[in-house]
């Protein structure tokens, strides 16, 4: 059996390092992609929430414009506000289920 020199030892260590990197890089890139996906979903939900809030505010200020959304039923200011409160609670529940809060 021949003895390994220092150069051969470092050559084998380099090969093992490259092989190890082939397993480590996909693992961490998958973790990062999952985190990025959650961040994008959260941003989209927050943007949608803000837009919905603006719609509700406009309907509460001027109830006749709700005909654009629903021409079947007329909501009072109290009903519109109750609907908004229900929506906020539903949003909080969904975030809790996703473990966002």
pLDDT at 82 over 70: yes
pTM > 0.75: no
Supply the pLDDT for residue 26: 78
pLDDT in tens, 19-46: 888 887 777 777 666 666 667 777 777 7
- Please return the burial class of 50, using the count of CB atoms within 10 Å of its CB with bins 0-12, 13-18 and 19+: exposed
Domain ranges of the chain: 6-97
Supply the pLDDT for residue 1: 45
Computed over every residue of the chain, the mean pLDDT equals 77
Q: For residue 34, what are the CA distances in angstroms to 11, 22, 60, 65?
A: 35, 19, 39, 41
Closest CA to 48 of 88, 100, 99, 89: 88
pLDDT at 61 over 70: yes
């Amino acid at each position: 059996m021949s003895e390994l020199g220092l150069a051969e030892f470092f050559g084998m260590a380099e090969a093992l390092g490259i092989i190890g990197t082939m397993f480590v890089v996909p693992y961490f890139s998958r973790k990062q992609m999952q985190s990025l996906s959650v961040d994008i979903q959260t941003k989209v939900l927050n943007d949608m929430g803000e837009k919905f809030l603006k719609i509700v505010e406009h309907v509460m200020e001027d109830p006749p414009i709700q005909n654009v959304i629903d021409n079947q039923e007329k909501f009072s200011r109290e009903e519109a506000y109750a609907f908004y409160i229900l929506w906020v609670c539903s949003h909080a529940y969904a975030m809790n289920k996703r473990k966002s809060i």
